[in-house]
Amino acid sequence: MNIHNLSKDTVLKNLVTSDKGLSETEAAKRLHEYGLNEIKEVRKKSLFHRFIAQFTHFLAILLWLAAGLCLLSEYLHPGEGLVSLGIAIFGVILINAVFTFVQEYRAEKAIEALKKLLPFNVKLSRDGSTKEICAENVVPGDLVFLGEGDKVPADARLIESNYLMVNNAPLTGESDTRPRSHEAFEGDYFESPNIVFAGTHVVSGSGRAVAFATGMSTEFGKIAHLTSGVQERLSPLQKEIIKVTKIIAVIALTTGIFFFVLGTFIGRSFWHNLLFAIGITIANVPEGLLPTVTLSLAMGSQRMAKKNALIKTLTSVETLGSVTVICTDKTGTLTQNKMEVQEIWTLSDSDALRIPSPLRGEGKGGGEAWSGISPSPSSPPVKGGESYNMLMQAASLCNNAVYDNGKYKGDPTEAAILKAAREAIGDMKAERIHEIPFDSERKRMTTVYKWEVGSGKWEVKEKDLLTSTSHFLLPTSYFSFTKGALETVLPLCTDILRDNEVKAISEDDNNSLMHTYHSMMDEGLRVIAFAYKEIGDIEHRIQNTDNPPLPPFSKGGMGGFDIESDLVFLGLMGLEDPPRPEVPDAIEKCHSAGIKIIMITGDASRTAVAIAKQIGLVKNNPVVIEGHEINVMSDSDLRGKLLSDEIIFARMTPVHKMRIVTILEDEGERVAVTGDGVNDAPALKKANIGIAMGLTGTDVAREAADIVLLDDNFASIVNAIEEGRGIFENIRKFITYIFASNIPEAVPYIAYVIFNIPLPLTIMQILAVDLGTDMFPALALGAEKPARGAMRQPPRSPEEKLLNFKILGRAYLFLGPIEALAGLSGFFYVLHSGGWQWGTMLPSHEVLYMQATTACLAGIIVSQIGNVFACRSFKDSIFRLGFFSNKLVILGTAAEIILSALIIYHPWGNRIFGTAPLRADVWLLLIPFSIGLLLAEELRKYYARRYSNA
């Protein structure tokens, strides 16, 4: 079936549907027959393959080699006990693989669960009424409504279109927009303008289409193998962690080889040296680092979701922490997006009337302020009120919002305007025959209505919109109504309606109008201008011309007649959108954190400045740049303006926003940008962090963004930045914690080689720390709240690495040696108590030796308990933070103690890890080391705070 060749009626007939859509019963049958409308990820790796991959990364290969050497050594030189060590290393590989796989799987499931908070919904007609359903439930034959910002849910044939423009980039890779039309087309199917494909985006206009292919039957589904299962690129953070892990692994391997050679040089046997080399290599390998980082990011994303910021990619959590500039919209982000008409201006014979909106609760129809308002919707307007009534009619008819079931639905600005019109003159009904949609370039919209005479009143028809009432209108067949920004509407006007009379706009009229306009904007109101035009009997005029009949229409005209020229100006509406109450505090946080905020709005400059002052965004006289100025500004000039401390961009388009973001990034700034429209998608992708609006944003914007605000609130961005900063610091905290234990694990092997003593710590005991007792507290550190002063520090430099000398120095040169001292003290204390003589080697199965190595292990574990509290902050005292302020640290420490008890006192633990129960006096010796480490760190923090404040 060449569906693009068919007429509308034939399409509906062939798909067994109607102009009212399917019935719910039929839709359910087709859903069962065709299945869910979803693209299956045909190339996604199975869980088995993803699990196997955990055995083939760099660290795993290193451990495989170590295990292979142990088995080879046992084969060549039996009796050295290396077979058990090889099996133990195999166990390490398995445990690490399982742990990493589980954490990555949990992280993936967490993200999938979060994404379900923003389902892909679609509007369609079923049983003759408009409904909104999840896109996966769309079936062939469904009648789908398409509007600006929508993602097309299925391959569909248009049956109605109104300036519909579609971007086919997701399917073709071409970013240019294509006009769509519902007329039958005889050419190639893929070039047909009456076909819209699943996954493509509506850029502007509107239309209705009937779905004919869903799921894997769509063109998008047919090439799913080219778009599914593509591996995500590694983020800078992931690359850096992998790089750090490899460096440390290479250092560990090099250290092992060095001491193997050193042992050989001083006369140790080959097998002793091999045992040592394997041990010190494993001691320095950070087996649990990567999964711990993954889980930390996942936990951070879940915490941010609770704060209304949905993280689409885990690594965006950390990237937020380095943001230096936020380019934010005004409406709905800094303000509540609860529009309400506050003031209305029209021109009267006596003077310009500037009257409050009826929505303010002031009496309608009473007093001079309300001259010209009908006492009831059914009565004719009184003399002197025609300007007001025509303004309200324009507000009602040049509008795509609807009043349905007691609620106003649609764009917040249009809904507020419709509400004001209904409060003033009641409902209007008319037959709309033409529309030029609003877009960000034109900043206006125009509608055309057909009026018919009936019984002395103008009887009007509406296809599917409003109901009841009638008003006397001027005797003509067609009216056009235009609304938009004053600077785009006023130049189209030659006349102005003064009460009942149309007059040429005089200089006094213009002065009065502009004075009111500026006054409204200075109050922070969004000002909308209205105009109209009597077109006359267009059908008769067209019949006497060479122009085609209605429709189609050329943009800006009908049948060759320009409907956006020689307009009659009606008046102004001032709408208030109150600032969000939490925004001023959020802005103050950003200023303290060294983050620059730039407002980029489509509103007029005076309105933008007024709102900016209300919320504390600007305090002095900011640099204000409007769209027409940026058009003639060179990049170097714009770059200079962006250096200003306070700057606002007004009357901006998405193209302008893209240019601003590009220049900021070229200057080395890390930019977060907000957006909600289709045309915002390029800027959202270009920015370091794209932030889309979840409530008012389009599907296109949400897909392009890294983060989606579930409440459209600027304060949620600031909370997310604070969380991002905290997560980066948390990664450093548990890296410090994990790396600190490498020193007490490595020092015993060095002492074993140099001082000719029994090996103080076995490889199995090292693994008990690295993949056992250390893991729970490390994960708890990943859940630490952002530091108290996180938002009082400047943004992190992009050159600042995750690991630096301060981090490594603190772990390896300060905390680590204290733990090594604790472990060796316990080891020698037990040996000395048992009568050991220096230089005497003990067999591995002797109780004294097992107790001594257990004491060394216990010394490390006890010190790490003190260390986890020390690592909760780099500068703040634990006594200020509170020992119990992070309950997960308490739980992690409790888990560490329980696991340690099982390793030391349970027969299974003794058998697996070569341990033996310890006496109470050994614990009395070791516990002060934990306290001492914490106090030593407190002293270091004291001097760090004192030095940083100097």
Q: What's 300's DSSP letter? A: H
Q: How far is it, in rounded angstroms, from Cα 213 to Cα 221?
A: 10
Let me know: does 603 contact 577? Beta carbons within 8 Å.
Answer: no
Angle between helices 816-833 and 742-754 (to 10 degrees): 50
Residue with tokens 């305007």: 417
Let me know: does 941 contact 875? Beta carbons within 8 Å.
Answer: yes
Helix residue ranges per DSSP H, 24-77: 24-34, 47-53, 58-76
DSSP secondary structure letters along 497-534: EETTEEEEPPHHHHHHHHHHHHHHHHTT-EEEEEEEEE
AA identity, residue 919: R
Q: How far is it, in rounded angstroms, from Cα 250 to Cα 89?
A: 18
- Counting Cβ atoms within 10 Å, is residue 175 exposed (0-12), middle (13-18) or buried (19+)? exposed
Residues assigned a catalytic role: 329
Cβ neighbours of residue 12 closer than 8 Å, sequence gap 6 or more:
18, 19, 159, 210
Q: How far is it, in rounded angstroms, from Cα 494 to Cα 474?
A: 19
Q: What's 139's DSSP letter? A: -
CA nearest 876: which of 815, 938, 810, 796? 938
For the beta carbon of residue 79, count every other beta carbon within 10 angstroms.
8
- Counting Cβ atoms within 10 Å, is residue 777 exposed (0-12), middle (13-18) or buried (19+)? buried
Q: Are strands 707-709 and 689-693 parallel, antiparallel or unpaired?
A: parallel
Q: What is the maximum alpha-carbon separation in the chain?
A: 121
Q: Are strands 689-693 and 402-404 parallel, antiparallel or unpaired?
A: unpaired
Cα-only R_g, the chain: 36
Q: How far is it, in rounded angstroms, from Cα 257 to Cα 101?
A: 31
Cis status, amide bond into 798, omega within 30 of 0:
no
Copy the structure tokens of residue 290.
């990567």
Q: How far is it, in rounded angstroms, from Cα 390 to Cα 179?
A: 34
CB crowding 200-232: b at 16 or more within 10 Å, else e: bbbbbbbbbbbbbbbbbbbbbbeebeebeeeee
Q: In degrees rounded to 5, what are phi and psi of residue 707?
A: -135, 140
Q: In degrees rounded to 5, what are phi and psi of residue 574?
A: -105, 120
CA nearest 493: which of 473, 510, 515, 511? 510
Helix, strand, or coil here: 804?
A: coil
Cβ neighbours of residue 154 closer than 8 Å, sequence gap 6 or more:
37, 135, 138, 140, 142, 144, 198, 211, 212, 213, 214, 215, 218
End-to-end Cα separation, the chain, in angstroms: 80
**Residue-level length of the chain:** 950
Q: How far is it, in rounded angstroms, from Cα 73 to Cα 71?
A: 5
Q: Are strands 444-454 and 431-436 parallel, antiparallel or unpaired?
A: antiparallel
Strand ranges (E), 103-154: 121-126, 129-134, 143-147
